Amino acid sequence: MSSLTELSGGPALRQERRVVTEIPGPLSRELLARKQAAVANGVGTVLPVFVRRAGGAIVEDVDGNALIDFGSGIAVTSVGNSAEAVVRRATEQLTRFTHTCAMVTPYEGYVEVCEELARVTPGDHPKKSALFNSGAEAVENAVKIARYAAKRQAVVVFEHGYHGRTNLTMALTAKNMPYKQGFGPFAPEIYRVPVAYPYRWLTGPENCAEEAAAQAIDLISKDIGPENVAAILIEPLQGEGGFIEPAKGFLPRMAGFAKEHGIVFIADEIQSGFCRTGQWFASEDEGLVPDLITTAKGIAGGLPLAAVTGRAELMDAAHTGGLGGTYGGNPVACAAALGAIETMRELDLPARARRIEEIMKPRLHALAERFGLIGEVRGRGAMLAIELVRPGTKEPAPQATAAVAAACHRAGLLVLTTGTYGNVMRFLPPLVIGEDLLNEGLDILEGALAEQ
């Protein structure tokens, strides 16, 4: 049996790509057969390589292949897998206690995380937080808080938005397959309006922000009535919908409309938060100060934790006992979050994200010049994407997208696809990735595009 040292990951793991078998290899295929026999078919797998250890920007599988990670567990391991401060703080907490339930007998870690969230989220107003387990839970509770505080029921969401897989968050999510198909009926009083999607706006990107905002506001005014709207909920940089960056001016216009009508403006920063876009939060790009902000994914370096943070008077609106959950703000997850935030500060990960953009975007634009398959390059920081289309058109090319991703996987680069039309490749490398691995990954992407 291998020693503990040989099996350890984290920052000490050698940061180099290594392909020693076909991907997936024989041991991964054996484990996949076991998964298929024991795990529900509804739990999908992007790439069936079974992980033995991971660290930095490398994921090593049970066959000994070491893959470059351009996915970060969907923007979760932004500080790198098994980051030192995350492991240290979580281990220390494990030796003290694993659970008491914060609603029964609280502990300092929960309070510390809420204090940190008040410091790092946008705005200098008094803030409070409540902690949960997942992004969907955070969104559900943000809606609960908004409805309770506003004494209204309607919630406005946007085309291409993604907010989770629970019953309420499925209703909030735009994309039907695979997230909603067959799972209805869904929660009522959810209304969807246009988003400013520059690449696909019919009258051109220069008109996108103003026209989309006007359409959205007109629909809210005519079909719902602003006086009935509890919340406007949006991702400042849409994730599952295709890494759509709303045209500049659209978000401030919607936030201003919300403020004018006493509507709670909620920013879903579950994928875009915690340094991912080159700022602590994507809302900061246009100076947005949301009333409520939902976070998860990158908050705790891989441990399950989520939060709703917002204006103190809104967060205090619900009656005592109205918010919470058995595992919400688990002490080990809180310790990990404090370690992740410590790492973000010490390594200045917003600056790292901006450096990743400086390296990746010019190369992606060069690939777009070479390959007609790439319709657009977009995103910010280390949340970047290419939208793939049939050359010479804007017709989505989901089959080609899947083929490019598969070619990357075979060569040892872990990439993810996304988008309402299944035609977007998203790039979410750990913010601690070395520039050599970043460029090697882009070389692999170039080769994969050349195969098509």
In whole angstroms, how far apart are CA 53 and each of 176, 285, 302, 340? 34, 35, 13, 19
Report d(CA 136, CA 192) in Å as an integer: 18
What pLDDT, on a 0 to 100 scale, did the predictor assign at position 3?
43
The average confidence (pLDDT) of the chain is: 97
| 246's tokens | 């709303």
What pLDDT, on a 0 to 100 scale, did the predictor assign at position 2?
44
Report d(CA 231, CA 308) in Å as an integer: 14
pLDDT tens digit sequence for 108-134 = 999 999 999 999 999 999 999 999 999
What pLDDT, on a 0 to 100 scale, did the predictor assign at position 8?
81
In angstroms and rounded to an integer, the radius of gyration of the C-alpha atoms of the chain is 22
Tell me what percent of the residues of the chain surpass a pLDDT of 90: 98
The model carries a pTM of: 0.96
Averaged pLDDT, 192-219: 98
What pLDDT, on a 0 to 100 scale, did the predictor assign at position 6?
59
pLDDT at 5 over 80: no
pLDDT tens digit sequence for 239-298 = 999 999 999 999 999 999 999 999 999 999 999 999 999 999 999 999 999 999 999 999
What pLDDT, on a 0 to 100 scale, did the predictor assign at position 191?
98
pLDDT at 1 over 70: no
What pLDDT, on a 0 to 100 scale, did the predictor assign at position 116?
98
pLDDT tens digit sequence for 318-351 = 999 999 999 999 999 999 999 999 999 999 999 9
